[in-house]
Amino acid sequence: MSPSLSYSSRGNPSHFNSQEESYHTLFGHQARTVSAPRRDVYYNPRLDPKNFLDGPLSSNPATRLRQMLARPGIVVAPGICDGISARCALEAGFSCLYQSGAATTASRLGQPDLAIATLNDFVQAAEMVCSLDPCTPVIADADTGFGGPAMVARTVKQYARAGVAALHIEDQVQTKRCGHLLGKQVVSREEFLTRVRAAVLARDSIPGGSDFVIIARTDSAQVLGMEEAVVRLKLAAEIGADVCFIEGVRTKELLESTVAALAPKPVLVNVISGGLTPSFTSKEAEEMGAKIIIFSLVSSVAMLHACRAAMKSLKKTGTDFSSARGMDPKQFFEVMGLNEVVEFDARAGGSAFQVI
């Protein structure tokens, strides 16, 4: 273990006072007594948010994301599903991207978000997305970590190697489903914390001192209630999670209470139109105290509508003229980075693209 961090067996006195601890401040009312064993408290001074307050934004995406989290303003990350959607998000000026598990499963496999995609599917998608603009942080869904502690560690290291800045790992059972579908099941609190601890230990074992961000996600709100969800995330934060994420926060008041209960840890909110969480705008989420907002299916649902319409039009009219809306091949490739490739070829002394 790196000498810059440690686990010590002590409780956090600001939240818990004994092994049979009462948690009384949750949501402004008397919460039920929860039993928790004495815990290990993670400490790594190198990753203290105050170390990321000053200076220019780093070219390292994980460091850059930590700077964005430490500084004012909400981080808005649109969900991308492939190279086209990533290019469109970058063209629109977004400074952070979100690789949605549901969108990745749909775009790569044509399958629903039911634990069908594998670690390799996710990593291969991430390698492509992260290569488009290596400085832009990509937050990637890691589902349940794809297995036990050793597999969680492998997931973290492969994501970091691919250029991902952050991942979120959740407490659903291995046969998981989209967080906005019904019938979810979650693992025990202890198993969830084992996943988070494995992710943190894996991050801290990366040579050179990685700034990779670990996001703890719980889906337990719809299964065990909001109180248990917040307790799980407080415990996850104590063992090293950098950001907290409750899936399916149903009201403005619950989001505000969650942010207050988990402070000072940053809170991520996931918005899917028609899902469990209201369609908060990024401005509204920021006013409620959220630090990251992701729009998981913004690109995939829009692409589905557009592709459906184009295919129906082609079937009906026998031409793609109307769906192209005047965009010729060169204009399409320009969005995909054509000009950058041509310029680079010329700078290297190439002549293949003098006329394009």
Do strands 6-9 and 40-43 pair parallel, antiparallel, or not at all (unpaired)?
antiparallel
340 and 193 within one domain: no
Bridge partners, 292 (sequence order): 75, 268
User: pLDDT by residue (tens digit) across 120-176?
Assistant: 999 999 999 999 999 999 999 999 999 999 999 999 999 999 999 999 999 999 999
The pLDDT, as a whole number, for residue 39 is 57
| Same domain, residue pair 186 and 60 | yes
Q: For the chain, first and last CA: distance in Å?
A: 54
In a domain, 131, yes or no: yes
Peptide bond into 56 cis (omega under 30): no
Binning pLDDT at 50, 70 and 90, where does residue 339 land?
very high
Whether residues 245 and 330 fall in one domain: no
- Same domain? For 292 and 175 the reply is yes
Measure Cα distances from 183 to 101, 168, 222 in Å: 18, 21, 9
Q: With beta carbons less than 8 A apart as the criterion, state whether 303 and 323 touch.
A: no
Q: How many domains, the chain?
A: 2
Just list the catalytic residues. 98, 113, 141, 143, 168, 170, 178, 217, 247, 270
Position 249 in a domain: yes
Instruction: Answer yes or no: do 292 and 338 share one domain.
Output: no
Tell me whether residue 23 is in a domain. no
Q: In this structure, are 65 and 184 located in the same domain?
A: yes
Give a yes or no: residue 35 inside a domain. no
pLDDT of residue 41: 85
Share of the chain above pLDDT 90, in %: 86
Residue 316 lies in a domain: no
81 and 189: one domain? yes
Same domain, 338 and 227: no
Residue 15 lies in a domain: no
The CATH number given to whatever domain includes residue 257 is 3.20.20.60
Give the pLDDT score at 25: 36
**Mean pLDDT, rounded, for 236-262:** 96
Q: What are the residue ranges of helices labelled H in 145-264?
A: 149-162, 189-204, 221-224, 226-238, 252-262
Q: Is 185 among the domain residues?
A: yes
Which residues face 10 on adjacent strands? none
213 inside domain: yes
87 and 127 part of one domain: yes
* pLDDT on residue 290: 98
Structure tokens at 120: 């390799």
Among 39-43, 59-63, 306-310, 323-327, the minimum mean pLDDT is found in 39-43
pLDDT band at residue 238, thresholds of 50, 70 and 90? very high
Strand duo 292-295 + 267-270: pairing: parallel
Whether residues 238 and 348 fall in one domain: no
Angle of helix 252-262 relative to helix 226-238, nearest 10 degrees, comes to: 30
Domain that holds residue 53: 49-304
- 330 and 276 share a domain? no
Position 36 scores a pLDDT of: 47
Is 177 in the same domain as 263?
Answer: yes
Proportion of the chain above pLDDT 70, given as a percent: 89
- Interatomic CA distance for residues 104 and 102, integer angstroms: 6
Contact 7, 39 (CB under 8 A): no
